[in-house]
Structure 1
């Protein structure tokens, strides 16, 4: 199997007129764009983002239970620097580092049955006391970076003490609660996409809501229709790029 046959956790699609684009982040955010082969996700994300050109609006759709902190923070910063207006749609779940990426939105929209999960960063560490202290210091810096992202979005609606409590307790926020804390701008009608977490995430997180524990993992939840949509996004993106190249 080649890397071209493997799905990345993100896809991008530019509109034919080049004024807007759709970006989908579905699934676990990994270090590698293709898990078994090669390319670093953030590098590939930047290359594809650059190919979209000078779009005026980016619609970012998220359904992810998190993943690599450093890749996620890098993607967040790329989107924050982008000149386009970013409209985030949390289709079902934005958990852990995926919730940080969501904060890059100028506007965040959540269906009433979607969820946002925030928690303190964690990691594995092996080594002597010096190595372990460094790992703890690194986690403190990562937590501070995430707090800045949440506060930058929420502003005065979220006190530092409240945010720290949410992070310490690994809090799963409904759309209404996210709106209350300033982490969401618009609560929409419920959609048909069901929030779910992977088996890996079920073991990694502590306070996973019971309804999510009862769901099967993300891969089995994805319907044939969703898979067809992802394939169509890739095909349309290639067609749009070919079209743009013919007129430039």
Structure 2
């Protein structure tokens, strides 16, 4: 892994090839350097210009469903050949983004997780019924992405896997048709925040027993994976953003997948 890599980074390797690293949460509005927003993703894709091949490396536990669908569609519509690499984890909406690849690779020790979308909200009975209808629609969009790749799966089998929150090893993902090829194991720790970890119901025992390791990367690995983000905001701007963030969290209106 390159020493100058950031959590979300896009590089033009050559005139005809580019690479993207999605190593953080998928978000609607970017707060941290590790966040990946659809707006930033589109800008970076546009900056690539005319390339014939794009390598996308994923290590993400997911995030905002609408931002994830937008990123998926951008990659599917791009004229370049898209190679997806699941470096450690593609969970939740990150697994949908992974389905955008013309060819999808998983390292032998990486994981793919699929489940139904969820939401935290508030409102009266009518509003909650409308929210449930919205969830059905977002699930249908995601299911189309899975089934377009995993042609061996029936809709019924996929639905059972989604309802169960299914964590797939590379071998299992290959068997189900979600990926095309398995690569050798690597040493990258799965990118999953403690907040995301608490939301999942059936985290594999191998991860559950080592949650500190996957939520806090040791300094040696961090230095090998990412550069220290440059300070770009004043203290006043940081405080203002934090106040807005806490206000949004207090409303408990968050849509994740």
Match of 1:46 among 42, 49, 52: 42
- Counterparts of 1:198-209 in structure 2 under 5 Å? 198-209=193-204
The answer to whether the aligner puts 1:138 opposite 2:131 as a matched pair is no
Match of 2:55 among 37, 56, 59: 59
Distance in 1 (CA, whole Å) between partners of 2:56 and 2:219 is 20
Work out the CA distance in 2 between the residues paired with 1:160 and 1:121: 16
Give 1:2-17 correspondences, 5 Å limit: 9-15=7-13, 17=14
Q: Which stretch has the larger CA shift, 73-82 or 217-226?
A: 217-226
Structure 2 CA distance for partners of 1:195 and 1:228, relative to 1, 3 Å: closer
Structure 1's unaligned 5+ residue stretches are: 1-6, 235-248
2:28 is aligned to 31
> In the alignment, is residue 213 of structure 1 matched against residue 184 of structure 2?
no
Structure 1 residue 227 displacement after superposition: 4.2
Does the CA contact (< 8 Å) of 2:207 and 2:214 recur in 1? no
Is 1:119 the counterpart of 2:145 in the alignment? no
TM-score, length-scaled by structure 1: 0.83
Per the TM alignment, residue 35 of structure 1 is displaced from its structure 2 partner at its CA by 4.1
Deviation at 1:223, TM superposition (A): 4.5
RMSD: 2.4
Give, in whole Å, the separation in 1 of the partners of 2:134 and 2:217. 35
Per-residue CA deviation, residues 154-196 of structure 1 (Å, 9 max, x unaligned), is 12x1111110011010000000110011101001111112335
When residues 45 and 8 of structure 1 are mapped into structure 2, their CA distance, relative to the original with a 3 A threshold, is: farther
Q: Give the alignment partner of residue 190 of structure 1, picking from 179, 185, 188.
A: 185
Structure 1 residue ranges (4+ consecutive) displaced by more than 6 angstroms after TM superposition = none
Aligned to 2:242: none
Say whether residues 1:163 and 2:161 are aligned partners: no
Using structure 2 for the length normalisation, give the TM-score: 0.81
Task: Indicate the structure whose relative CO is greater, using CA pairs within 8 Å and at least 6 residues apart.
Answer: 2
Deviations 1:120-173 (A, max 9, x none): 000012111111011000000000001000011112x11111100110100000
Q: 1:21 aligns with which of 7, 18, 34?
A: 18
